[in-house]
Structure 1
Amino acid sequence: MRTGRAHALAVLIGLSLAGCAVGPDYRRPDAPPVDRYTAQALPAATTSAHAADGDAQRFMQGRDVPARWWTTFDNPELTRRVNTALSHSPTIASAQAALRQAQENANATRGGLFPSLDAAAGATREKQSAAQSGAPGGLGPFTIYNASVSVGYTLDLFGGVRRGIEAQLAQADYQRAQLDTTYLTLAANVVTASLQEASLREQLRATEEILGFQRESLRIARQQQQIGSKSLSDTLAVRTQLAITEATLPPLRAQLAATRNQLATYLGTTPAQLELSPLTLDAISLPQDIPVSLPSTLVDQRPDIRAASAQLHAASAGVGVATAAMLPQITLSGSAGSQALRAGDLFSAGTGAWSLGLGLTQPLFHGGELLHRKRAAQAGLDKAVADWQQTVLVAFQNVADALQALQYDAQGLAAQAIAESAASQQLDLTRQQYRLGATGYLNLLDAQRSYQQARISLIQARAARLADTAALYAALGGGWRSDTSVASQKP
């Protein structure tokens, strides 16, 4: 008889472990069937310009972005800043903690696959009335000591527990992708802010140089006014232009201060504690070989797409959990222990007690709750599919925008270099003419203003080309990848 019970128990447990899991099996949607990111095929390289950072950039089709892509700018200070941010930023620590939390929750959910085993011990002091005990005057008071071990197990016949574990593992994958997103975003932000800082320093330097020219012009104008060769209106014109140029300095300095403060936050410190070595555009190399991953691999590289895939996986498993809740549940239970009136008599002959139980629960009526929860889970799955598709579309748009920006940046830099060179020559010529008395103050001021605008625009064009290169690296996924997926593990 005992052998028959053991055999039946083994069969039930085997059915539980080998039973099918209800609900859809996860399958990631296919990537868009395209072989390029832009409407027209990419050229082999961008145009070049006779200027700093004017080298042509070559598009290396089919190559993946390096994990430490910021090192391709070949600047030790930039690399140090990114490494410091990745090591000290609280956003990284927060994302790491969220990943550990999700992993521990997934590990905790695995406990549903195993029997529960609990031990209990206690002592009860009581007195029974005559009605309870049947004895005149009642019984007691007396103390009952007990000790027992109980076992419980829910057969996962329809895979509800396994789908729940699958959902938790998918959540861990989501947090891992979020961690990768944090790494990528932080590195891109540090690079972009550093390039902005270098650009603002160059703009301030160029503006101060123009101010030097204008102060010299004002000095000459005053001397000529004193000797009567020029009028007061000419001097006022020079002074007005000088004041206008000086007024551009405070906004530039404010932007530079705000950028440095932002860098302090990225690097995990306060503005008062920030220590940065000067960074100039001339010290930053423009990457010339630009990797362009295949469109078919973008869904594996972009952490936001991997996060959307994990959410889709969790939603798919959630349908299975909701479906299993509508089906029968079988539980096994058992206990063994001892009861005695004295603690020393526990586990003595005649004090033992045990029980075995088999329970079957079939939901019959819950006011439509279970049905609507299943429908809600299916709607959540539909939403996750749409969210995944939208994330992929935005990712392809980001890459296309960055690629086209690099092409147009190169053209814009070439045009700005020509404009700056022409404005510089025009300023030199106008100065000579002014010294010889062949032209007036207004022409000189116009030449200075044109040169200032052209030089500032050239600096901005250089910085934009570097920043858009970093944006392309980030759009392609940044090359950063944490450990492999855990949702694929079998419960």
Structure 2
Amino acid sequence: MRVSAGLILILLAGCAAGPDYRLPEKAVLISPAARGTFDSGGEAAFVSGEPPDQWWRMYDDARLDAYITEALTANYDLKAADANLRRASFIVRETEAGRQFQTSISGSAEIAVVRGKIRSPESYTYDLGAGVSYALDLAGGIRRGIEAARANNEAVQAARDGVRVTVAAAVTRSYAAACSANATLAATQRVLDVQRETLGVTTRLKQGGRGTEFDVTRAKAAFDLSTAAIPEIIASRQAALYELAALMGRTPAAYPRELIQCISPPALRRAIPVGDGAQLLARRPDVRAAERLLHAATATIGLETANLYPRVSIGGPLGIAGPIAGFGTGSSFGGSLGPLLSWSFPNRAVARARIAEAGAAAEAASADFDGIVIEALRQTETALSAYAREADRSATFALSRDDARRATEQAGRLYRFGRTNFIDVLSAQSALANAEAAFAQSRALLVDRQIDLFLALGGGWGNDAPVETAGSAAAR
């Protein structure tokens, strides 16, 4: 029998078939352009330090901290992700078991029947056997399989971390949306108070002969228009509260009642540390998952390459056989020691096709990895720019709101003393209503942009206890 040179090399070296994993030389992850500072990172709203893992603590909001802690324990998407991680860890354990001795037991009994009649008791016979074998894994197929399973397990771990980031961001977003809706409601109420006062003044002036029914009607129309905005604001708040309850694993009706009174969305008191590209790509769960999947795909090439070579195992059967009447006696014992070496030769055409499939899959995983790195950088740059510009916009809206308040107060005084007409009053109040609404919406959008940025930065998973794996479960 002729043995291929490749098999001889494997037998001598004891190494695993297929390529050893390393990052591709041209991977985007290790390019200087991907690892440098962010294009939008020089804005006044940012500093260069590493973002904290639990980024929501930057808000210094104990209530938000409590909500996220509850969600990270009770959220059902996260429970499913934890279960998937446990499953992946058991797959690793199953694959590692391929390196252990394999055993088998067999047994049979026969009854001889001649012309429809059972012969003497001696015709009752039995055959019991046991076998043991150990795969030598000379081509390294088992090792490559374990390598692939471990890399897949780490990819599932990264995906689970990604769910944690998403859940924390969704809780913060819902919490902020509920408080922002209340802030908008409070701003609308302030405008209504001004319009209610104006309606009262207009009514009294008409009764005193200094105003007209037309002025009263216009004042009431403006008041009614602002009142009509309230139901939609309340509906928006309730939707946010129901979503928050669901994220925390509660039924919608069990939303946190204390948020009905919250009128201040979470606000940062300091600049956001954003780090650089290298820190981002090490932190993003989706980037970590893609890199681990590339590792698994590379190991699969070795797994399929090992199928080109015979599978070698050692071991053999041991058994006893004889008539049942003599079972347990010394004379009934009969054993055999089977072959110590067994060979299983592969279908090389099929094996080579599967190697090519695994190679193509690894190329696709490499392209996916590069694409995810590029997308992570794009998302972060976009979030940085959007947050910085919204911060500028919100500051301008605050000035506009303050100016509109002063203009409304001035118009009211001038109207009461007959120094301006009612159109000016209504115009000032309309400008105030728009300015209040715009500022409230900008504050809400600013928090939303903050959350987008924190989500892009990928923190929120680093300081938590690991999920129970197959090894820890077995240890208990």
Q: Is the 8 A contact 1:237 1:442 kept in 2?
A: no
2:39 matched to which residue of 1?
39
1:11-65 deviation per Cα after TM superposition (whole angstroms, max 9, x unaligned):
x9xx77962212222223443313545436614x23xxxxxxxxxxxx331x322
Is there any run of 5+ residues in structure 1 with no aligned partner, and where?
Answer: 1-11, 47-58, 131-135, 486-491
Structure 2 counterparts to residues 7-86 of structure 1, below 5 A: 19-28=14-23, 29=27, 30-34=29-33, 36-39=36-39, 42-43=42-43, 45-46=44-45, 59-61=46-48, 63-86=49-72
Q: 1:285 to 1:41 in 2, by over 3 A?
A: closer
1:408 matched to which residue of 2?
389
TM-score w.r.t. length of structure 2:
0.87
Distance in 2 separating the partners of 1:378 and 1:426: 71
SS in structure 2 at match of 1:269: coil
1:302 aligns with 2:289: no
SS in structure 2 at match of 1:337: strand
1:361 matched to which residue of 2?
344
Distance in 1 separating the partners of 2:79 and 2:466: 20
Q: Is the 8 A contact 1:65 1:477 kept in 2?
A: no
SS in structure 2 at match of 1:65: coil
RMSD (CA atoms): 2.9
> Residue 360 of structure 1: CA displacement?
2.3
Distance in 1 separating the partners of 2:114 and 2:314: 36
1:208 aligns with 2:208: no
Q: 1:141 to 1:239 in 2, by over 3 A?
A: farther
> Residue 286 of structure 1: CA displacement?
1.2
1:261 aligns with 2:242: yes
Structure 2 counterparts to residues 26-175 of structure 1, below 5 A: 26-28=21-23, 29=27, 30-34=29-33, 36-39=36-39, 42-43=42-43, 45-46=44-45, 59-61=46-48, 63-120=49-106, 122-127=107-112, 129=114, 142-175=123-156
Question: In the alignment, residue 193 of structure 1 is paired with which amino acid?
Answer: S
SS in structure 2 at match of 1:356: coil
Distance in 2 separating the partners of 1:344 and 1:241: 108
1:218-246 deviation per Cα after TM superposition (whole angstroms, max 9, x unaligned):
23333333444333332222222222212
2:319 matched to which residue of 1?
337
Q: Give 2:198's match in structure 1, choosing from 200, 212, 217.
A: 217
> Residue 271 of structure 1: CA displacement?
1.4
- Higher mean C-alpha deviation, range 111-120 or range 68-77: 111-120
Distance in 1 separating the partners of 2:325 and 2:276: 74
Q: Is the 8 A contact 2:186 2:263 kept in 1?
A: no
> Residue 425 of structure 1: CA displacement?
0.9
Q: 1:33 to 1:347 in 2, by over 3 A?
A: farther
> Residue 400 of structure 1: CA displacement?
1.2
2:215 matched to which residue of 1?
234
The alignment covers a number of residue pairs equal to: 452
Distance in 2 separating the partners of 1:392 and 1:174: 15
- Higher mean C-alpha deviation, range 183-192 or range 394-403: 394-403
Question: In the alignment, residue 424 of structure 1 is paired with which amino acid?
Answer: R
SS in structure 1 at match of 2:42: coil
1:425 matched to which residue of 2?
406
> Residue 460 of structure 1: CA displacement?
2.6
TM-score w.r.t. length of structure 1:
0.84
1:322 matched to which residue of 2?
304
1:489 matched to which residue of 2?
none
SS in structure 2 at match of 1:27: coil
Distance in 1 separating the partners of 2:184 and 2:118: 102
Q: Is the 8 A contact 1:145 1:346 kept in 2?
A: no
Distance in 2 separating the partners of 1:383 and 1:159: 24
Q: 1:123 to 1:158 in 2, by over 3 A?
A: closer
Distance in 1 separating the partners of 2:56 and 2:369: 28
Distance in 1 separating the partners of 2:461 and 2:269: 18
1:331-383 deviation per Cα after TM superposition (whole angstroms, max 9, x unaligned):
33401121132376337246221132233232346xx5433322221111111
Distance in 1 separating the partners of 2:357 and 2:429: 68
Question: In the alignment, residue 245 of structure 1 is paired with which amino acid?
Answer: S
Distance in 1 separating the partners of 2:367 and 2:263: 42
1:438 matched to which residue of 2?
419
2:436 matched to which residue of 1?
455
Q: 1:142 to 1:307 in 2, by over 3 A?
A: same
1:388 aligns with 2:374: no
Greater percentage in helix = 2
Distance in 2 separating the partners of 1:201 and 1:40: 32
Distance in 1 separating the partners of 2:419 and 2:383: 49
Question: In the alignment, residue 126 of structure 1 is paired with which amino acid?
Answer: I
- Higher mean C-alpha deviation, range 183-192 or range 404-413: 404-413
Question: In the alignment, residue 218 of structure 1 is paired with which amino acid?
Answer: L
SS in structure 1 at match of 2:335: strand
Q: Is the 8 A contact 1:144 1:339 kept in 2?
A: yes
> Residue 281 of structure 1: CA displacement?
5.6
1:275 matched to which residue of 2?
256
Distance in 1 separating the partners of 2:232 and 2:37: 38
